[in-house]
Structure 1
Amino acid sequence: MAKVGIRDVSRAAGVSVTTVSHALSETHQSRVNPETREHVQQVAARLGYAPNRIAVALRNQRSQLLGFVSDEIASTPFAGELVLGAQDAAYERGWLLMLVDSGRNPELEEKQVNTLLQHQVDGIVIAKMYHQEASVPAAVAGIPAVLLDAFDPEGTLSSVVPDEVGAASTAVQELIDAGHRRIGFINNSDDIPAAFGRLEGYRAALAAAGIGFDPDLVTRQAPEVPGGRAGAEKLLGLAEPPTALFCFHDRQAFGAYEVAARLGLRIPDDLSVVSIDNFEIIADGLWPGLTSVALPHYEMGRWAVTRLLDEIEHPEEAGEPVHLDFECPIVRRGSVAPPHSSSPGPEASS
């Protein structure tokens, strides 16, 4: 089947080649009235016309390619949403995404960036598997780049991360609104921005509700199911245990559910639990379902590519680098209820 060219679209649409070129160009679309532009685009789609990417690149001095450099996200549960958001944003603007994953190997990452540059990418998204300070590969200097789920302490690159403080505050507020006043927090033992931000959000929500901070109600544990078990055992073993638990993420909440069951506590009747991640395999798989604050991976991926393309295509309008803390919505399931008058414990559930 012969390739459809711009002259074929011109004949079928009954307009000049120049009009077709302008109507199908992101840069010059405004030169054609909306009705004609829509007509030309519909004809082009019906005929299966695709622009010659090499010719477009030569005219624009761009490859229309973006690099997406990941440290390990391709093997994490949320990778699909990050990549899908980035890919959708690129596709909608007529660009393609080239994805590489370094497996958290800095030397390999440097080589991958150099390879992407050899393929003439016009910009690079540097994505991390969790919110962290980023070490930017030296090869990236001099080309547009955006950090995804990471930040540059020097502020030289635009970046997007979850609003950790807001996410924790939202989770704790859910418990406060249900009537809980004694709320335990199983935090992450790692020294990472998310752990500090979520502690800040926990304390802020308590303070806003007039609830004093009790350090005995906070424990730092490994960010895995066993860490959740250890944290729940410690907090629920207090002389005056909490009526609710806020967990750093859903894997810890899974461990907390196990401990509650072993102690004879019913969720949410005897103990309420909230978390952060909205990892659906866990949050939907637990019974009752786990109320969890979602990390907006898809939205962050979209924003990162959209911002990068703005910096590439409209650098003067884009201005200085931007840092965005993305809002995190809560997903309510069945793990929160008002507290009993008595504190939870094996005796309270009998």
Structure 2
Amino acid sequence: MSSIKDVAAKANVSIKTVSRVLSGFAGVSSKTKEKVESAMQELEFYPSAAAQSLRGRDKGIVCLITEKLTTTPDSFDIIAGIQSECEKQGKLLMIGESGGSDESFSRLVDDFRRQRAEAIIFATVYRRQVKIKQSFKKCPLILVNCFEANLSHPTILPNDYLGAYQITDELIAKKHRKIAYLTLFEDMPATQLRLDGYRKAHEAANLDVDRGLIQVGVCRDSEDEFSNLPEVLRTLLSRQEPPTAICCGNDKMAMRVYMLIRKLGFQIPESISIVGYDNYKLIAENLLPKLTTVSLPYFSMGQRAAQLAINKQQVTTPEIIEISGELVLRDSHGYATS
């Protein structure tokens, strides 16, 4: 790598003059500045970020720690949202993967602090509780898609409750009165919030919730997390009053339900409506019929996190910011059949 000494020799000026150009000193003539900048370009010289920081120049670095987010298609929009805002504000985004390891998280925090990051964003693949051990008094920490037991940092979460309420309300508006709900794992925070939204939509329409229509649609005892779905669906559809619509915990589950429902002789949505959650476009837009679902507002969540990271005065008081997804109406649901 070229050094400041090499640049000075190439431009035929002193090291002090090169240093003045790098620090934006006004006392350097335009001709000399052009010579120095030309030498830097030819030598592919870039000033040390650490040295610039010591001169008091803001590097504008925002850092992101993720858990396999870069390789998870339906969560990648968080990164896209952060990057979009950083580009608008002229900030550099640095990304590190912790892989869920506390040790890796701690190492990345230390590395990013050495880079004098303006703020650090921590984003998880799915909504879950985390425990932050480090202090972030000087360099703010913003949590995305995760939360602490005791609120200590700004936290950005999807509004899972509202999403489930909206999609259930849509089915009720289509005259469905027996709506099954196939949940994700019961210990996932999003599961309870979505169930609350499902129940509240029934309550708002003065409808009772049939607890027998709420079933866990996933299992941990098999390599195939949906291996219990065939039996669950057979049980639901053999009821004296079977459901006319099924809410699935996510779009991946809905894709499996599509296949199983058709094997049982049902048509979608003519004889039964199916809806999902996540708006995983690779699935939702390619199923036949296209899947009605609720989007996870990951892009907007990423944008908001970047805004907080860049405008540090906004993070003085920790708060939870919930961002609503969008109800995406497609063709997999219709009016209830008798």
Give the TM-score category using the shorter length: 0.7 to 0.9
Counterpart residue type for residue 337 of structure 1: G
**Contact in 2 for aligned 1:186/1:247 (Cα 8 Å):** yes
In structure 2, give the amino acid aligned to 1:120: R
Letter of the structure 2 residue corresponding to residue 177 of structure 1: A
User: Secondary structure of 1:256's match?
Assistant: helix
Cα drift, residue 320 of structure 1:
1.0
Q: Which segments of 5 or more consecutive residues in structure 2 lack a partner in the other structure?
A: 1-25, 28-45, 220-224
Indicate how the Cα distance of structure 1 residues 61 and 322 shifts in structure 2: closer, same or farther if over 3 A, else same.
farther
Measured after TM superposition, the shift of residue 234 of structure 1 is 3.1
Q: How far 1:81 moved relative to its partner?
A: 1.0
Taking the aligned partners of 1:123 and 1:58, their CA distance within structure 2 comes to 18
Alpha carbons 1:275, 1:291 under 8 Å: kept: yes
* CA contact 2:161–2:195 (8 Å) conserved in 1: yes
Q: Number of paired residues?
A: 293
- In the alignment, is the contact (CA less than 8 A) between 1:133 and 1:151 conserved in 2? yes
Superposition deviation, residue 63 in structure 1: 2.9
Shift of 1:151: 1.5
Tell me which amino acid in the other structure corresponds to 1:114.
Answer: D
Per the alignment, residue 266 of structure 2 pairs with 265
Shift of 1:260: 1.0
| 2:117 matches 1:121 | yes
Retained in 1: the 8 A contact 2:154–2:315?
no
| Aligned residues with identical type, % of pairs | 27
Unaligned runs of 5+ in 1: 1-16, 19-50, 342-350
CA distance in 2, matches of 1:259, 1:301: 36
Superposition TM-score, scaled by structure 1 size:
0.77
The equivalent residue for 1:175 is 171
Contact 1:147-1:160 at 8 Å conserved across structures:
yes
Alpha-carbon distance change, 338 to 64 in structure 1, aligned in 2, over 3 angstroms:
same
Q: Which residue number in structure 2 is paired with residue 214 of structure 1?
A: 210
Deviates more, 1:112-121 or 1:246-255: 112-121
Contact 1:70/1:127 (8 A) holds in 2: yes
SS at match of 1:138: coil
Are 1:321 and 2:321 matched, yes or no? no
1:245 corresponds in structure 2 to: 246
5 Å-filtered alignment, 1:190-229, equals 190-222=186-218, 224-226=225-227, 228-229=229-230
Mapped contact 1:165–1:197 kept (Cα < 8 A): yes
Separation (CA, whole Å) in 1 of partners of 2:236 and 2:319: 40
Contact 1:229 1:255 in 2 (8 A): no
Q: How does 1:90-169 map to 2 (within 5 A)?
A: 90-138=86-134, 140=136, 142-169=138-165
Match of 2:182 among 177, 181, 186: 186
Please tell me whether residue 85 in structure 1 is matched to residue 81 in structure 2: yes
1:307 pairs with 2:304: no
Equivalent residue in structure 2 for 1:334, among 305, 308, 331: 331
Post-superposition Cα deviations, 1:62-118, rounded to whole Å, max 9, x if no partner, equal: 331111000221221223311110011112112111101111122122212211122
Partner of 2:34: none
TM-score by length of 2: 0.80
Separation in 1, partners of 2:145, 2:110: 22
Query: Which portions of structure 1, spanning 4 or more consecutive aligned residues, are displaced by more than 6 angstroms?
Result: none
